[in-house]
Amino acid sequence: MAQLTDMSRAFFYTSVVAGEEYIYALYFGKSVDLFFQEGELSREIFVFDYDGNLLKTYSLDHALFSLAVDEKNKRFFGISSDKDPNVVIFDY
């Protein structure tokens, strides 16, 4: 398991899901310091094939803390990173 100790590090993935066909990565393009200041995390999901090629990018209207993917029904599930966290569902 990866361990992040540099809180000023930017441009990383907060959650990664390995599906049957694709890899889904919840992207956070800011430093962890900004998360603690702003309180929101990732709003983008990058979809890669297993060769590492970026295939799609999804921009979300809710910032997420974590991600789950239902490839069969084409849905993303996440935990929102706002002050009152909820489970949110996105159809793709």
CATH number (domain holding residue 71): 2.40.10
2 in a structural domain: no
- pLDDT given for residue 34 in this prediction: 63
Would you say residue 35 lies in a domain? Answer: yes
Range of the domain at 60: 12-91
Model confidence, pTM: 0.78
pLDDT at 39 (0 to 100): 60
Indicate whether 6 belongs to any domain. no
DSSP states of 11-58: SEEEEEEE-SS-EEEEEE-S-HHHHHHH---EEEEEEE-TTS-EEEEE
Question: CB–CB of 41/63 below 8 Å?
Answer: yes
Q: How far apart are CA 64 and CA 41, in angstroms?
A: 6
Total of domains in the chain: 1
pLDDT tens, N- to C-terminus, the chain (92 residues): 444 555 556 667 778 999 999 999 998 877 666 666 666 678 899 999 999 999 999 999 988 988 999 999 999 999 988 778 899 999 99
pLDDT of 1: 43
